[in-house]
Amino acid sequence: MAGVEEELERRSKFLSSLIQKKKATEQQNVHQELNVKVRASDMSTELQNAAFKCARDLLDSMPIKKIDTKKIATALKKEFDSAYGPAWHCIVGTSFGSYVTHSLGGFLYFSIDKVYILLFRTVVEPLKQ
């Protein structure tokens, strides 16, 4: 009986590794398609892809020489606030430094074309009366 359990465990690990490789390949294809480079992340791939698509759409709607970083930051923040709850923050630019505290699973720093975007979420606690 122990041999059967070991074989099932081995097959389960093998299938899990195949699934992980497929997801990694799909994510890499998204990065190449949208010209995205993830610099640091503590965010699910679904949220990352939403941020990449939103940023790509915003950049594509602007003239190349007139990138409005404030407009991108505002739009990303509003999109994530409405879709995933409040307290999202967004910093966009070509050169900036930062040191932030974020909620678990709510941090993404990436570049798209030559624009760098920091998107993160903080905890919102109700005021005590």
pLDDT value at position 15? Answer: 74
Q: What is the pLDDT of residue 42?
A: 94
| pLDDT value at residue 29 | 60
> CA-to-CA distance for 104 and 60, rounded, in angstroms?
31
CATH number, domain 37-129: 3.30.740.10
Domain segments of the chain as ranges: 1-34, 37-129
The model's pLDDT over 22-68, given as tens digits with 9 standing for 90+, comes to: 666 666 666 667 789 999 999 999 999 999 999 999 999 998 788 99
pLDDT (tens digit, 9 = 90+) per residue, 80-121?
Answer: 999 999 999 999 999 998 999 899 999 999 999 899 999 999
Nearest to 119 by CA among 58, 69, 73: 73
Mean pLDDT, range 70-86, rounded to an integer = 96
Q: What is the 3-state secondary structure (H, E, C) of the chain?
A: CHHHHHHHHHHHHHHHHHHHHHHHHHHHHHHHHHCEEEEEEEECHHHHHHHHHHHHHHHHCCCCCCCCHHHHHHHHHHHHHHHHCCCEEEEEECCCCCCCCCCCCEEEEEEECCEEEEEEECCCCCCCC
